């Protein structure tokens, strides 16, 4: 699974670079609010990827990563709803996020089902 880990890190770097570019065009008012949340969430995605890669029991970290991707999606949609990005930029940004989500989803499937607690 190390190949998928490297692919995921590459895709996260691409997402981070695109996010950085887009956030420069946000209004100054949002630089310390929504921009900071998006940057923090992007950094958290990278951190959780490394945590999942290093852990023996990966499923918990992978599900945390999956949740963080959904939070990021919500924040991107919020930026569109508030008019900070246009529809084209939303589509491109979501393509990046969806690609990361697909890789994480396949990693979760590869790790197997979640053990049931009794």
| Domain range annotation of the chain | 2-111
Residue matched to tokens 């999606």: 73
Residue 29 — pLDDT band, cuts 50, 70, 90? Answer: confident
State percent of the chain over pLDDT 90: 70
2 compared with 30, residue with greater pLDDT:
30
Q: What average pLDDT does range 14-33 have in this prediction?
A: 91
Nearest to 79 by CA among 53, 48, 87, 43: 87
Q: What average pLDDT does range 28-56 have in this prediction?
A: 92
The pTM for the full model equals 0.88
Report domain 2-111's class.
mainly alpha
Average pLDDT, the chain: 90
The whole-angstrom separation of Cα 115 and Cα 118 is 9
Contact, 5 vs 53, CB < 8 A?
yes
Structure tokens of 2?
């190390």
């Amino acid at each position: 699974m190390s190949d998928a880990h490297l692919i995921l890190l590459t895709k996260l770097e691409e997402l981070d670079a695109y996010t950085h570019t887009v956030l420069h065009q946000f209004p100054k008012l949002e630089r310390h609010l929504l921009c900071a949340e998006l940057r923090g969430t992007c950094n958290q995605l990278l951190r959780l990827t490394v945590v999942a890669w290093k852990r023996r029991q990966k499923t918990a970290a992978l599900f945390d990563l999956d949740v963080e991707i959904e939070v990021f999606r919500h924040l991107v949609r919020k930026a569109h709803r508030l008019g900070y990005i246009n529809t084209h930029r939303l589509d491109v940004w979501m393509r990046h996020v969806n690609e990361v989500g697909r890789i994480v989803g396949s990693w979760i499937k590869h790790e197997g089902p979640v053990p049931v607690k009794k």
